[in-house]
Structure 1
Amino acid sequence: MVWDEPVPISRDQARATYLAVKRTEPETTPADVPDVVKDLPGKVTLHPGHVMVSMDLDTMDEMSAQVFTVARAHGLVCYDPQRDLVHNVAPLGVHEGMQLHTGDGMIVHDPDLGLVHDVLGTLSPRNPFVALVNFGRHFMQVSPGYELEYKEGTLIRAIVPDLEEVRTAFHEYATGERGFLDRHAWQDQPV
């Protein structure tokens, strides 16, 4: 679902909005069709102030990426009820073109920092890694057990104690800070 919010919202707020809108009847003859509708893939259903996009599970990853991109281009919030994740317009990291990749198939270009935080909480056997990638320059990746990998020239690896430390390291990486490099015992890894 996509809609306008004046400020970034939490996943809980997005979920509550989605559930409330889902209980309402769709507009059958809307007076004003939002511009975003013509750019969205899939089946679109209009609700007052909100646009629902339906897709099948076989194409969900590809179509979700398209919906996220269109929503961002229109300055709209996007909530993914399958993954229970919200995509806000901002704040973004400092690396333009950065991509968020997950082991369960999600790819988001220029993810907002709140999304990165929430996605890290989904690490599991179904989602065996999360990576922030700046192609051709550097990347940071984590897998369950909190094995953190960072590559900028040489691939290095560290085990971090908990999810909050992983979130801190990813936040620092995304915002251009380097404190994560000093806080952990890194080991060079063969490529």
Structure 2
Amino acid sequence: MSVELMVWDESAPISRDQARAAYLAVKKSEPVAGDVPEVAKELPGVVTVYPGHVLVTMDLDTMDEMSAQVFTVARAHGLVCYDPQRDLVHNVTPLGVYEGMQLHTGDGMIVHDPDLGLVHDVLATMSPQNPFVTLVNFGRHFIQVSPGYELEYKEEALARTMVAELAEVQRAFHEYATGDRSFLARHDWTA
């Protein structure tokens, strides 16, 4: 079985709906022959070039490792990346305040310097197949959540709290990513 990612240029961040529509439109079009864009030469997997878009196909077994490479190349070139399997869009901006921050999911996705929209959207994908989402600044601190919305934060010591709704989890992750620690005062934390 194979999976796909699509990369292309956008002038501003786009929604998952816009990314999905672009992907579906490209899938209905014909690939182009001839000159291959520079970015296509750097991408792993099987690369197919469409007008203004590059489709990367990879094996399911190598998806996690190769997806991380595609995300990195796309970001380096200022390109959007759409993951149709997860229905997630990786925009170039806006980013959090921590350079090198990583997003990890329980289903194997790792993204360096994730955009804030991706962080928001990926939190809604938690399930038995994706049992956690973590934002980590290695050697400094992290925030993590698991289904049932058990929120964990660690800086000096690990603290836990239960959060009632996804929207509050998304708010806490956004605050963490932007350097705002208001989420710490809003909840009762236990060691």
User: Under a length normalisation based on structure 2, what TM-score does the superposition of the two structures give?
Assistant: 0.96
Give the CA deviation at 1:35: 1.3
1:41-190 matches, within 5 Å, as 41-188=44-191
Q: Secondary structure at the match of 2:97?
A: coil
Give the CA deviation at 1:33: 2.5
Aligned AA (2:26): V
Aligned AA (1:25): E
Where structure 2 has 5 or more consecutive residues not aligned to the other structure, the ranges are: 1-5
Aligned AA (1:123): M
Aligned AA (1:122): T
- Which whole-Å CA distance do the structure 2 matches of 1:178 and 1:121 have between them? 22
Q: Secondary structure at the match of 1:64?
A: helix
Q: CA RMSD in A?
A: 0.6
Name the % identity. 79
Aligned AA (2:67): S
User: Under a length normalisation based on structure 1, what TM-score does the superposition of the two structures give?
Assistant: 0.96
Match of 2:8 in 1: 3
- Which whole-Å CA distance do the structure 2 matches of 1:54 and 1:161 have between them? 39
Give the CA deviation at 1:183: 0.4
- Which whole-Å CA distance do the structure 2 matches of 1:102 and 1:90 have between them? 20
Alignment coverage as a number of residue pairs: 186
Where structure 1 has 5 or more consecutive residues not aligned to the other structure, the ranges are: none
- Which whole-Å CA distance do the structure 2 matches of 1:117 and 1:26 have between them? 33
For the pair 1:18 / 2:23, whether they are aligned, the reply is yes
